[in-house]
Amino acid sequence: MTAELQTWIGVIATLAIFSFLIKENPFYRFFEYTVIGMSAAHAVVMTWDNYTKPFWVNGVMKGEYYLLIPGAIAVLYYFRYAPPKYQWLYRYPLALIMGYNIGYSLAYDPRPFMTQIRGTFESLKDLNSFIYLVIFIGVVVYFIFTFGNKSAAVGKTRTFARYAMMMYFGVSFGNTVQGRFSLLLGRLLFLLQDWLGLVKLG
Amino acid sequence: MLEKLNNLDSRWMYLALVIVLVIPIIKPIGMSISVNKDLTQRMYDFIDSLPPGSLIMFDLASNSSSDTEITPMIYAVMEHMYQKGHKLLVAGQWSSGLAFWSPKIDERAREYGWVYGVDYVNIGYKAGGTSTWRAMGQDFWKGAMEVDINGTPFSELPIMQNIRKLDDKTIDCIVIFESGSPGMETWITYFPTIPLCKGSVAAEISSSVRYIPTGQLKGLIPGMRGAAEYEKLVNRPGIATQLMDAQSMSHLLVVALIALGNIAYFGTKRKMARGR
């Protein structure tokens, strides 16, 4: 068993969080709030290191004074907390960023989707691609004819599409469960290897 | 009996899960691992096909919560790059991912004898999202503010002398290790000409595989299982291989619990119908 203080803190925190599985308790609560507090503190430090410091040190202080213009616009965000009379000012950076992102999205976002749609029809070289196409058409029918269609063909297609989607959600859920087990494995390995020293992997 | 099973306290299942996971960690069974030809093998083949000295960029779009899945993938791909003599550019769309994995990458690079600034470089987190990446597409140095993760100017790093644009002429492949957004959409949307491979957490697999047939993804490492497959391909079994027994046993437990749950549910229903 290790004597490292850092590992012991990790172990106590891990066991505290897992204790929730038995039942809600103060030990769990304490560490839950600790995580929230630490996450907030970490976010502040990361924001300073990744945004504020590079802006001044690598930009403005190296003579790129034009950066002060977007910097000043960004400061307007804080007018959200100003007296109501001045709050409208925060809408300017918001409008700028929204416009920029919408323009960007409209210009570039359709491309990968078009590649996907083209690929659906283009690569019909095996059974899998054929199944993919059939499900694709089924799901499109499902969402187009959501309301008020009494056709039997559409009804059957929609039922087929529903089953296909349920299968996809099942696969997705299964993969998520697999991922969660991996996370649990990581924690168990920490307890068995780093704390108890029962195994030596890696 | 059936009612008892139907109302089984979930804590017994948690206990069973822990037992099923712990035993194979302490005493591995050594179950064989087959390689997925459509996902992991494709990625391996693609990276293998690049000429020695190619520049591969890592995008760390994940954080420490995916350590168990992502770390073995990073190590396995680095091993492959070492075997092939590729060079590495480390970047990241998630600042927390860079903070977490950079020391691990440095440690592994030291093991390979890679010289920082010559064989590999870490440019650190660059704020600004897609607009920053786009700026790097025009002028890498300017877009990345001309300094690496330690604040060293690019002008002092030999490897950076050839990295002037983020495009397919400079970067031979991007390998993204992703567990959420922003992620590979950045690359397939704004840089579709740069070949892209992905190391994905298990939860993201089903939403990623559709990019393989269209060529938007050259290959995919699916979760910890994929990491174990890649370790097998590069012939260096690591932590993913060693944990696969536990992972497999946990899946068997889940299948058994699903079967038991269904038997209990339908059995109870039938019994109630008979009772009426």
d(CA B21, CA B15): 10
pLDDT of residue B30: 85
Optimal mutation site among B145, B147, B210, interface A, most CBs of chain A within 10 A: B145
Position B186 scores a pLDDT of 93
The CA distance from A143 to B204, in Å, is 24
B contacts of A182 (beta carbons < 8 Å): 68-69, 201-202, 223-224, 243, 247
Phi-psi region of B117 (alpha: psi -120 to 50; beta: other; left: phi over 0): left
Structure tokens given for A34? 């600790």
Cβ of A50 and B67 within 8 Å? no
In a domain, A96, yes or no: yes
Nearest to B239 among A178, A181, A201 (CB): A201
| B248 reaches A (C-beta below 8 A) | no
Peptide bond into B182 cis (omega under 30): yes
**Predicted local confidence at residue B28, as pLDDT:** 86
Q: Which of A178, A162, A173, A135 is nearest to B210 (CA)?
A: A135
The pLDDT-based confidence of A59 (bands split at 50, 70, 90) is confident
pLDDT at B275: 78
Whether A8 and A54 share a structural domain: yes
Same domain, A3 and A49: yes
Q: How far is A73 from chain B (nearest CA, A)?
A: 15
Task: Let me know whether A71 and A129 are in one domain.
Answer: no
Q: Do residues A119 and A78 share a domain?
A: no
Co-location of A126 and A186 in the same domain: yes
| Mean local confidence (pLDDT), A101-105 | 89
* A97 and A167 co-located in one domain: no
Domain that holds residue A18: 1-63
Mark whether A116 and A191 lie in a shared domain.
yes
The whole-angstrom distance between A49's CA and the closest CA on chain B is 9
Provide mean pLDDT across the span A97-110: 91
**CATH number assigned to the domain covering B40-237:** 3.40.50
Q: What DSSP string runs through B129-194? A: THHHHHHHHH-HHHHTTTB-TTS-BGGG-GGGGG--SSSTTT-SEEEEEESSSSSHHHHHHH-TTS
Residue B18 exposed, middle or buried by CB count within 10 Å (0-12, 13-18, 19+): middle
* Per-residue confidence (pLDDT) for residue B89, from 0 to 100: 98
CA distance A47 to chain B (A): 9
Share of chain A above pLDDT 90, in %: 71
With beta carbons under 8 A apart, name residues in chain A contacting B69.
Answer: 179, 182-183
pLDDT band, very low/low/confident/very high, at A145 (cuts 50, 70, 90): confident
**pLDDT given at position A125:** 78
B112: left (phi over 0), alpha (psi -120 to 50) or beta: alpha
Residues A69 and A57 in one domain: no
Residue in B96, B126, B145 closest to A46 by CB: B96
- Stretches where chain B sits below pLDDT 50 are none
Per CB-CB distance under 8 Å, the chain A contacts of B192 are 111-112, 115
B131/A100 touch (CB, cutoff 8 Å), yes or no: yes
Go through chain B and tell me how many residues it has. 276
Cα angle value B21/A199/B232 (rounded, 5°): 75
Pick from B26, B201, B204: CB nearest A199: B26
pLDDT of residue B108: 97
Measured between its terminal Cα atoms, the distance across chain A in Å is 18
Helix (H) or strand (E) holding B224: helix B223-233
Tens digits of residue pLDDT in A128-138: 889 999 999 99
In sequence order, the β-bridge partners of residue B56 are: B88, B173
In the stretch 41-80 of chain A, residues with CB closer than 8 A to chain B read 42, 46, 49-51, 54, 57-59
Q: Using the predicted structure, report yes or no on whether residue A105 has a pLDDT greater than 90.
A: no
- Same domain for A1 and A34? yes
Average pLDDT of chain A, as a whole number: 91
Domains identified in chain A, total number: 3
Tell me what pLDDT residue A150 has.
80
- Please indicate, yes or no, if residue A201 is contained in any of the structural domains: no
Question: Same structural domain for residues A77 and A99?
Answer: yes
List the structure tokens of A176: 């998520």
Which residues on chain A are in Cβ contact (under 8 Å) with B67?
186
What residue spans define the domains of chain B? Answer: 2-28+246-275, 40-237
Is the domain of A11 the same as that of A59?
A: yes
Q: Which amino acid is at B129?
A: G
Q: Based on the fold, state whether residues A83 and A100 are members of the same structural domain.
A: yes
Q: Which amino acid is at A87?
A: Q
Query: What pLDDT score does A147 carry?
Result: 77
In sign, the C-alpha dihedral spanning B186, A177, A128, A131 is negative
